[in-house]
Amino acid sequence: MSGFEENVAVMGEWVPCNPSSKRVLERELSLNHGQVTSNNNKDSSQTNNISGGGLRERIAARAGFNTPRLNTENIRSNTDSSSLRSPCLTISSPGLSPATLLDSPVFLSNPLAQPSPTTGKFPFLPGVNCNRLSYSDKEKDEFFDGVGASFTFHPVSTSSSSFFQGAGEMTPVDYGNYNNSPSHQSPEEDVKLGSEQSGLKRKSSDATTNTNDHQEVEEGEEEEQRGGDSMVGGGAPAEDGYNWRKYGQKLVKGSEYPRSYYKCTNPNCHVKKKVERSREGHITEIIYKGAHNHSKPPPNRRSGMQVDGTEQAEQQQRQQQRDNAGTWVSSNNTQQQVGSNENNGEEGGQYESGDGYGGVIMVDALSTFSNDEDEDDREGTHGSASLGYDGGGGEGEGDESESKRRKLEAYATEMSGATRAIREPRVVVQTTSDVDILDDGYRLQNSMTLNTLVSSSYYKCTAPGCTVRKHVERASHDLKSVITTYEGKHDHEVPAARNSSHGGNGNSGVSAAQTQHYQEPPRGRFERQLTANNQSQFGRPFSFQPHLGPPSGFAFGLGQTGLGNLSIPGLAFGQGKLPSLPYQYLSQPGGMSEAMMRRGMEPKVEPGSETGQSVSNQIMSRLPQI
DNA sequence: AGCCTTTGACCAGCG
DNA sequence: TCGCTGGTCAAAGGC
């Protein structure tokens, strides 16, 4: 199922390189929590506006994807310590590619964007109304002038595995699935070296066929390290399922790496993509332009596309999801639009349906998606939506956004004091339209997923008139840790299973065993939490106190999500992973520790783990001391 | 033979 | 108008 575990494996690493950055982090840690929490307490419309970081706005405006900008960089053990590596993301998920994302009926919203100088989304920016959808260039300029050099990200070069960067702003948009876990990967990331100039020896690349979770991530990285070969022909990245022809390569100013230009080889498809690869052949940036108006080539014709049992299984799953998805009701505007897009895409051929649902979008902090929106690019109008950093959104803003993006990139470069190789933390967003028949038997819709440290899936019962909501949290690196929170009362009969495949166990990646502790929630307005197998993280099941909160009640923290997924310098893979905790604790002002204490619980720390430390403390403790 | 990459040249947008 | 830059073209060559 393209639910939780299938979707995301994102990793990012970045390290504040100077004391100033630490201060920024501290501010972010302290400020974002509160803010986001408050934001989340607002009604949906409000939060939508807040989220307006732009993606949502543009999505709404354009009803589709157009030019997702995917920035990725895999950071591994860096043998070249002298070279600064950008924060890396590793996405490898068979069938989940940017293209897949384009096809995804559900997308993320800007709130997911990592707050950063380049995203123009600095919730902690003094004097800036964080609820605003966009900021003028002047404001950005002023801001950058103020923040400027102090905001510098330095990539971690020591970790064998990058650490996923969580989304920045997350709004409790409806009932989405906010997945913050490094559990899925996008194929694009696995594209290895295509063809490198500068006498670089061509490697092959690509596609990690994965399954789920960390295993996939790690395998994907291993694949990378092995120089896994999946390049099409001479090196066209094809793990996204499409065939590409390289038509140019150029060293772009300000970029440390050459940029390759690819066109979709389909005669009637004008989709293009730009790929930047590091010297090692790691993709540092992928920018898609346009939407495929055709289906992916048959697997057996996808040169360079690994089609193994895993992928086949996933394809089957996706098909199954498509079959099921039509019966579910979207719970928010965005999703409805997405659904519309989906239909349009299917009917109009704008959206290739190959991957259908679920997907991973890796977004760099500069902009989540590029905004090349000339008419040609909007050929796939149905499936086009441009997502920009500024959240301005609106017709005809593509060029402007692009310009702004470039401008911001320039800023980022300047601020980094080096090159674009120093990238900001990336945000990986997973979107799904999974509809699950949970272990409780009710059909719930999982509308959205965002990746952060903790996967948080929001479900809404699809039964007419039923307002029950369910929130499932899973530890990013331990999917067995599950916390389920109910709101409302389960006032209708449990629908009969529609699909044996779900079999009451379609909890988006939560196995029956993992939900075996399910208990019938009490009637009435409430929230109930349960855990399953969380002993793996804390030695014993959580002892949650009732979480009383607003209806939407699951506070998302911009800060916690982002920071919660930060790669901590000096931490190796595994070490770098923050403790698996319900993000709601991360979202608490003061960090997890404080949140937990307020809840009267004490995190159990596994021997040798750092679980007991608050995220912020952990992060801060590893930052350079001022 | 077909498809792809390579790569220098060309074009267009922008300041 | 000019130079810079990003994007594209297209000939050459490889597989």
- pLDDT tens for A109-167 read 333 333 333 333 333 333 333 333 333 444 444 333 333 333 333 333 333 333 223 32
Residue-level pLDDT at A495: 57
Q: Stated in angstroms, how far is A186 CA from B9 C1'?
A: 36
Could you give phi then psi for residue A431, rounded to 5 degrees? -125, 140
Pairing of strands A177-178, A231-232: unpaired
Using the C1' atom of nucleotide C9, identify the protein residue whose alpha carbon is closest. Answer: A247
Residue-level pLDDT at A494: 60
Give the nucleotide at minimum CA-to-C1' distance from A199.
B6
Q: Which residue has the higher pLDDT, A197 or A282?
A: A282
Q: Stated in angstroms, how far is A117 CA from B13 C1'?
A: 26
Using the C1' atom of nucleotide B9, identify the protein residue whose alpha carbon is closest. Answer: A248
Question: Is residue A152 within 8 Å of A16, Cβ to Cβ?
Answer: yes
Q: Stated in angstroms, how far is A193 CA from B5 C1'?
A: 13
Sign of CA dihedral A78, A82, A83, A89: positive
Residue-level pLDDT at A235: 41
For all residues of chain A together, what is the average pLDDT?
Answer: 41
pLDDT tens, residue by residue, A466-495: 766 666 655 444 444 455 556 666 666 665
Q: Which residue has the higher pLDDT, A106 or A460?
A: A460
Q: Which residue has the higher pLDDT, A247 or A77?
A: A247
Q: How many residues are listed for chain A in this entry?
A: 626
Is the pLDDT confidence value at A394 over 80? no
Share of chain A above pLDDT 90, in %: 0
Pairing of strands A435-437, A443-446: antiparallel
Q: Stated in angstroms, how far is A349 CA from B2 C1'?
A: 28
Question: Is residue A94 within 8 Å of A240, Cβ to Cβ?
Answer: no
Give the nucleotide at minimum CA-to-C1' distance from A253.
C5
CB closer than 7 A to strand B: which residues? Answer: A 194-197, 202, 232-236, 243-250, 260, 262, 265, 399, 403
In a 10 Å sphere around its CB, with 0-12 CB exposed, 13-18 middle and 19+ buried, how is residue A61 labelled? middle
Using the C1' atom of nucleotide C10, identify the protein residue whose alpha carbon is closest. Answer: A247
Residue-level pLDDT at A473: 58
Is the pLDDT confidence value at A6 over 80? no
pLDDT tens, residue by residue, A493-509: 665 544 433 333 333 33
Q: Stated in angstroms, how far is A586 CA from C8 C1'?
A: 48
Question: Is residue A9 within 8 Å of A93, Cβ to Cβ?
Answer: yes
Residue-level pLDDT at A293: 80
Is the pLDDT confidence value at A289 over 60? yes
Using the C1' atom of nucleotide B5, identify the protein residue whose alpha carbon is closest. Answer: A234
Q: How many Å apart are CA A436 and CA A506, to the nearest integer? A: 5
Q: Which nucleotides of B are covered by protein (CB under 7 A)?
A: 3-9, 14-15
Is the pLDDT confidence value at A411 over 50? no
Residue-level pLDDT at A297: 75
Residue-level pLDDT at A7: 31
Q: Which nucleotides of C are covered by protein (CB under 7 A)?
A: 4-10, 13-14
Is the pLDDT confidence value at A1 over 50? no
Give the nucleotide at minimum CA-to-C1' distance from A232.
B4
Residue-level pLDDT at A471: 61
Residue-level pLDDT at A536: 30
Q: How many Å apart are CA A322 and CA A324, to the nearest integer? A: 5
Q: Which of A12-21, A176-185, A352-361, A449-458 has the highest mean pLDDT?
A: A449-458
pLDDT tens, residue by residue, A352-392: 333 322 222 333 333 333 333 333 333 333 333 333 333 33
Which 8-state DSSP code applies to residue A383?
G
Is the pLDDT confidence value at A428 over 80? no
Q: How many Å apart are CA A169 and CA A393, to the nearest integer? A: 17
pLDDT tens, residue by residue, A193-222: 333 333 333 333 333 333 333 333 333 333
> What's the pLDDT band for A257 if we cut at 50, 70, 90?
confident
The CA-to-CA distance between both ends of chain A, in Å, stands at: 47
CA angle centred on A203, ends A193 and A313, rounded to 5°: 75
Q: Stated in angstroms, how far is A403 CA from B4 C1'?
A: 32
Could you give phi then psi for residue A413, rounded to 5 degrees? -65, -45
Q: How many Å apart are CA A229 and CA A193, to the nearest integer? A: 9
Which positions ≥6 away from A315 have C-beta within 8 Å?
A95, A299, A354
Q: CA A538 → CA A120, A207, A287, A606, A613, distances in Å?
A: 37, 35, 41, 6, 12
Which positions ≥6 away from A80 have C-beta within 8 Å?
none
Q: Stated in angstroms, how far is A206 CA from C7 C1'?
A: 25
Q: Stated in angstroms, how far is A247 CA from C10 C1'?
A: 10
**DSSP per residue, A31-76:** IIHHHHHHHHTS-HHHHHHHHTSSHHHHHHHH-S---BEE------
Which 8-state DSSP code applies to residue A268?
T
Is the pLDDT confidence value at A271 over 80? yes
Residue-level pLDDT at A546: 29
CB closer than 7 A to strand C: which residues? Answer: A 233-234, 247-250, 252-255, 259, 261, 272, 274
Q: What is the pTM of this model?
A: 0.42
> What's the pLDDT band for A256 if we cut at 50, 70, 90?
confident
Q: How many Å apart are CA A472 and CA A619, to the nearest integer? A: 26
pLDDT tens, residue by residue, A571-581: 333 333 333 33
Residue-level pLDDT at A87: 33
Give the nucleotide at minimum CA-to-C1' distance from A235.
B5
Is the pLDDT confidence value at A425 over 50? no
Residue-level pLDDT at A282: 75
Is the pLDDT confidence value at A191 over 80? no
> What's the pLDDT band for A618 if we cut at 50, 70, 90?
very low
Q: Which of A54-68, A239-253, A446-460, A524-538 has the highest mean pLDDT?
A: A239-253
Alpha carbon dihedral A512, A513, A517, A520, in 10-degree steps, equals 10
Pick the closest to residue A484 from A538, A536, A438 (CA basis). A438
Question: Is residue A191 within 8 Å of A602, Cβ to Cβ?
Answer: no
Give the nucleotide at minimum CA-to-C1' distance from A263.
C8
Is the pLDDT confidence value at A246 over 70? yes
Q: Stated in angstroms, how far is A89 CA from C1 C1'?
A: 44
Q: Worst-scoring range by mean pLDDT, A64-73, A277-286, A334-343, A409-418?
A: A334-343
Q: How many Å apart are CA A608 and CA A388, to the nearest integer? A: 42
Q: How many Å apart are CA A117 and CA A114, to the nearest integer? A: 9
Q: Stated in angstroms, how far is A184 CA from B3 C1'?
A: 33
Q: Stated in angstroms, how far is A250 CA from C10 C1'?
A: 15
